[in-house]
Amino acid sequence: MTIAPTTLDLIGNTPLVRLHGPSEAAGCDIYGKCEYANPGASVKDRAALYIVRDAEERGTLQPGGTIVEGTAGNTGIGLALVANAKGYKTIIVMPETQSKEKMDTLRALGAELVLVPAAPYANPGHFVHTSRRLAEETTGAVWAQQFDNIANRRAHIEGTAEEIWAQMDGRIDGFTCAAGTGGTIAGVGMGLKARDPKATIALTDPHGAALFNYYANGELKAEGSSVAEGIGQGRITGNLEDAPIDTQFRISDEVGLYWVQRLLKEEGLCLGLSSGINVAGAVELGRTLGPGSRVVTILCDTGFRYLSTLYNPEWLRAKGLPVFPWLAG
Ligand code: PMP
């Protein structure tokens, strides 16, 4: 495609890149799917487009209507740009702990931004419940419901997985990524398993999430914490139901940041922390699968979204995290 007919046609069909440092560390081939190359600079543009099209097809979203969603930010950015391209309004509810860049981007896109204090899922003030209430109270509004709406994972079954399969020439031994809604891991996992049941699908979980224990021993139990935005799930969402997870890894923020730094300095890739955690998981999976194996992971979003946090020495020091040597001053 040389000329895309609309902006929405620019969502998906992202490049795949060989990651040299991680490949060397794992002793096999590690590839990153460049989801930061979507128009909204994250993997969530895909889910946003599928969710909006699904609501249109069901007739729940009418011309001039409003899309309401609770999000760590990236889904909101995806929804806002899809809504702008299609003439809808957006109301985005976000925990106030997320990066300032995401908030500024949402305001710039014209979304109505509602910030709420970070709260456990059981608390009625949690961003997901707040967004559901706002959708109910707003005339002509639909609730995108990315966590349980399986239009989300369909974007990855039909899009991301098929693209990876074609880009890898049908030769892939393993895939891994972390879960926020779980749409990516479940959708890519299902799509790749349909192509090759022998491909190993691994969940890479941050600390503070409950899925590592769930897939290891059936217990939804969280331990520790993470500053990574957009990942770390405490329940089996609708998108995670029946996800074909073969194995699981747990990765610390320190190890994720180590890869964020190396990919920036050695390969010129500026990424967010969930990408670093994914790459660390891919190295673990590559070591497990052995020499000659071919492993794919997701480079979820751009690091430009975290200049005030991950790339800010003061913020890193305040969190007790290692400062990038060339930023240490
Ligand atoms: N990384 C980032 C930065 C994200 O915003 C998200 C989405 N919440 C994810 C990873 C995880 O994607 P998914 O919701 O498909 O599990």
* 197 and 309 share one domain: yes
* 73 and 218 share one domain: no
Average pLDDT, the chain: 97
In this predicted structure, the answer to whether residue 226 has a pLDDT above a threshold of 90 is: yes
Q: Whose CA is nearest to atom 6 of ligand 1?
A: 230
Spacing, Cα 267 to ligand 1 middle (Å):
23
- Say if 276 falls within a structural domain: yes
CATH code assigned at 114: 3.40.50.1100
Instruction: Read off the pLDDT of residues 253-275 as tens digits, 9 standing for 90 and up.
Output: 999 999 999 999 999 999 999 99
* 289 and 246 share one domain: yes
Look up tokens 């309004």; give the residue.
89
Number of domains making up the chain: 2
* Residue 181 CB less than 6 A away from ligand 1: yes
Instruction: Read off the pLDDT of residues 12-44 as tens digits, 9 standing for 90 and up.
Output: 999 999 999 999 999 999 999 999 999 999 999
* 168 and 118 share one domain: no
Q: Whose CA is nearest to atom 2 of ligand 1?
A: 230
Alpha-carbon gap, residue 76 to 87, rounded angstroms: 16
- Say if 87 falls within a structural domain: yes
* Residue 116 CB less than 6 A away from ligand 1: no
* 126 and 194 share one domain: no
Alpha-carbon gap, residue 251 to 228, rounded angstroms: 11
Spacing, Cα 3 to ligand 1 middle (Å):
29
Looking at per-residue pLDDT, the higher value among 72 and 132 belongs to 132
* Residue 300 CB less than 6 A away from ligand 1: yes
Give the end of a domain, one of 91, 115, 143: 143
In this predicted structure, the answer to whether residue 72 has a pLDDT above a threshold of 80 is: yes
Give the closest residue to 306 by CA, choosing from 290, 284, 321: 321
* 198 and 298 share one domain: yes
Q: Does ipTM surpass 0.95 in this model?
A: yes
In this predicted structure, the answer to whether residue 1 has a pLDDT above a threshold of 70 is: no
Q: What is the pLDDT of residue 129?
A: 96
Kindly list the catalytic residues.
44
* 90 and 174 share one domain: no
Locate 5 and state its tokens.
């007919």
